[in-house]
Structure 1
Amino acid sequence: MKRAVVKLGGSTANEAVLAEWIAALAGSALPLVIVPGGGRFADEIRNAQKDMGFSDKAAHAMAILAMDQLGHVILDRDDRLVPAQSMQNIERALRGGKIPVWLPSFLAIPAPDIRASWDITSDALAAWLAGKLGADALLLVKQTAAFSSGDDVASLTVRGIVDAGFAAMLPADVDLYLAGPRDAATAVALLASGKLPGTAIYRSGTPARKTG
């Protein structure tokens, strides 16, 4: 069965819709891996960097640890969700019918192909993981509806909907989907039937495949 990576944006963390998304993802019939955003934890690091003056290299590592923190918030919500730091952890969880929540610090901080920059956020890290796993699709769950099927990665980058490092990290053979708050209501049924919610985003020269 096809597999997907789902980035659950940190911007959802303070919203009621977070519970809806976690319930939907936990009930998925599609094998998937959840990548947490950094949310308010990453925002604190941005503020601290301004006050304390530490380097982008240090901030990068701390922001990835912030993703670990939000990952534990997500894990706290459903027993089907399990923590996964390594590729082996992820594969073991998927084989066991669980939904792994990736805690990225173990793999991402030392990875030589991930730049230490604020241009690399959880969007780009989710794309990186999708490539490493050989995933068929990547779904970015955002707290915005300011996108459409007429968008491509370039237009999303210009508007700040995905980070500046995202395009370089996204493999050419991974289908991209975006979902916002309005998609949460239908996500339970779609994921339970093995399909991804959201809007397919055009990839130049590569029409999006259907999931499921």
Structure 2
Amino acid sequence: MKAVVVKLGGSTSREAQGPVWIAALAKAALPLVIVPGGGPFADAVRAAQADMGFSDRAAHAMAVLAMEQFAHLILDEQPVADGRPRLVGVRSFPEMQAALAAGRIPVWLPSCMALEAHDIRESWDVTSDSLAAWLAGKLTGQTLLLIKQSGDFSEGDTAVSLMQRGILDAGFAEMLPQGVELRLAGPNDAPAAASILASGRLPGVAIKSAQAVERTV
């Protein structure tokens, strides 16, 4: 079963829009897989690396675990309907497919899959945005929606322009599969997100796709 991959930025955890986005995603009428960002948990890894001097390899593993910390926050804050939470934590493709088949929304706990993947670089150039793009490719998904705590983007952007401004990480273009539609949503999209997702549509704007050019940058 194909699903839209939705990366919920970890920085939303510190903002009023965070619970709004979580509630909106839980009402989605189309199949979704939620990828958690690292947010303040990954920031703590960056600060610790600067202070303690451990390797990027160790920092990468810690940052992936930081994503899992935010995943547990998402699961903790989700609304419960009919006595059963709709969002469910998953660690593997079979668990994702089982959750989707049951009409639930998987929240990816990435450590088991991401830390064993040889095609994911152990670098700060590869953050949760790139991991969401990687997952979209593995799931043969058609759309990747990145929910940001920034509105500094428009339909005129490409992945390259967003990377240049630091809206996307430096490794994103090489991780974004051919044929996957990229969408971005920001704080201004949060108020209407619940009604949009409940109607089977996606919030935000479509970003121009130019992967063949982007991979050479």
Considering the TM-score relative to the shorter chain, is it more than 0.5?
yes
Q: Superposition pairs for residues 14-53 of structure 1, below 5 Å?
A: 14-53=14-53
Match in the other structure for 1:73: 73
Corresponding residue number in structure 1 for 2:181: 175
Contact 1:68-1:104 at 8 Å conserved across structures = yes
Q: Which runs of 4+ in 1 moved over 4 A?
A: none
Question: Structure 1 residues 136, 102: CA separation in 2 closer, same or farther (over 3 Å shift)?
Answer: same
- 1:93 corresponds in structure 2 to 99
Letter in structure 1 aligned against 2:198? A
Inter-CA distance 187–112: structure 2 relative to 1 (3 Å threshold): same
1:105 aligns with 2:108: no
TM-score (ref. length: structure 1) = 0.95
Q: What is the aligned partner in structure 2 of residue 209 from structure 1?
A: none
Any idea what the Cα deviations from partners look like across 1:157-200, whole Å, max 9, x if unmatched? 00000000110000111100000000011111111111110010
For structure 1, which segment, 2-11 or 110-119, has the greater mean C-alpha deviation from structure 2 after superposition?
Answer: 2-11
Deviation at residue 3 of structure 1 after TM alignment: 2.1
Give the SS at the match of 1:22.
helix
Q: Which residue of 2 aligns with 1:190?
A: 196
What residue is the counterpart of 1:210 in the other structure? none
Query: Which residue number in structure 2 is paired with residue 165 of structure 1?
Result: 171
SS of the equivalent of 2:14 reads coil
Q: How many equivalent residue pairs?
A: 206
Partner of 2:81: none
Give 1:2 deviation, angstroms.
Answer: 5.5
Instruction: Give CA-to-partner distance per residue, 1:58-82, whole Å, 9 cap, x none.
Output: 0000000000000000011221110
Q: Distance in 2 between matches of 1:121 and 1:83?
A: 20
| Secondary structure of 2:74 counterpart | helix
Q: Verify the 8 A CA contact 2:173 2:211 in the aligned structure 1.
A: no
Which letter does structure 2 place at the counterpart of 1:23?
A
Aligned position for 1:156: 162
Structure 1 Cα separation of the partners of residues 2 and 156 of structure 2: 25
Question: RMSD of aligned C-alpha atoms?
Answer: 1.3
Does residue 133 (structure 1) correspond to residue 133 (structure 2)? The answer is no
Cα distance change on mapping 1:205 and 1:10 into 2, 3 Å:
closer
* Aligned 8 A contact 2:2 2:140 in 1: no
Give the distance between the partners of 1:77 and 1:157, measured in 2 at CA: 31
Mapped partners of 2:11, 2:211: distance in 1: 31
